[in-house]
Amino acid sequence: MGGILKAPFMKELIRTCGTMFRLGWNERNGGNISVIVDGKEAAKYLDTAVSLRSFDLDIDAAELEHRIFAVTRTGSYFRNVKTDPEYNLGLIRIDRGGKSASLLWGFSGGGAPTSELSSHLRSHIVRLRQDKNHRVVTHCHATNTLAMTFVHRLDDRDFTRTLWKMMTECIIVFPEGVGVLPWMICGNDEIGRVTAEKMEKYRVCIWAQHGIFAAGGSLDEALGLIEAVEKAAHIYLKVMNSRILQSITDVELGKLAEAFGLNYRRDFLDL
């Protein structure tokens, strides 16, 4: 049995935290990540029968019982994950019945999982119902996407259409569109509940004046979703006050989606 930091899933998580910090999306203690870890894979590197301590959960996570998650610590700085992963990360397992979780590794010095854990778990539950290959939920403060929520109507259809029209690849990357929420207090179960409702239809949920919640089958997929949304938002902000001479039309977006065989939101286009 090797050390947990030798596990490929931990190496990938540490690398992703560093990437997101360098992109400027996870300043100070902003943002959080949770990754479903295969139990057999985790057992190669750690005695998963040993529980260090337990945490009460704010939600009923019975659908996730016995699942293991790699999770960022509450108050942790993404820039410090690489230099002190045992402090800034933890491996937890949802206990039988889904009312508590056991700490298997990490959170040294008495730390706890991200304050957005209930939002993560609610989103994991609904995404697993939609996609058995779902594994990742990540939250960050993507700069341009956040800025766009100040100047754009906060409506799923309108926001999605604008992003799709900014860059050809967008409808290919997120053909189901994006969900958008008005400003809400963060770190409580209410925002987790309404985010999960959006996650039943989308893999990306945008929190106005706050950031992005994204889900995927891997860290690369979730990060790639955020990259695409963020670049489209950046382009929108650059051109929004300019005289537009040409753009991608709704008909062209429809043809593009059909050419790639996408299951896209036809009702989001005027066809």
Per-residue pLDDT reduced to its tens digit, 166-201: 999 999 999 999 999 999 998 888 899 999 999 999
What CATH class does 1-114 carry? alpha beta
Q: Which of 12, 63, 116, 258 is catalytic?
A: 116
Residue 1 has pLDDT above 80, yes or no: no
Are 135 and 218 spatial neighbours (Cβ–Cβ below 8 Å)?
yes
139: tokens are: 């939250």
Q: In 3D, which of 139, 168, 128 has the Cα closest to residue 259?
A: 168
pTM of the model: 0.95
Question: Which CATH fold would you assign to the domain 116-271?
Answer: L-fuculose-1-phosphate Aldolase (3.40.225)
Output phi, psi for 181, to 5 deg.
-120, 145
Dihedral sign computed on CA atoms, order 257, 259, 262, 265: positive
Q: Please determine whether the domains at 1-114 and 116-271 fall in the same fold group of CATH.
A: yes
202: tokens are: 């989308």
Is 116 one of the annotated active-site residues of the chain?
Answer: yes
Distance (Å, rounded) from C-alpha 96 to C-alpha 69?
A: 15
Per-residue pLDDT reduced to its tens digit, 91-106: 999 999 999 999 999 9
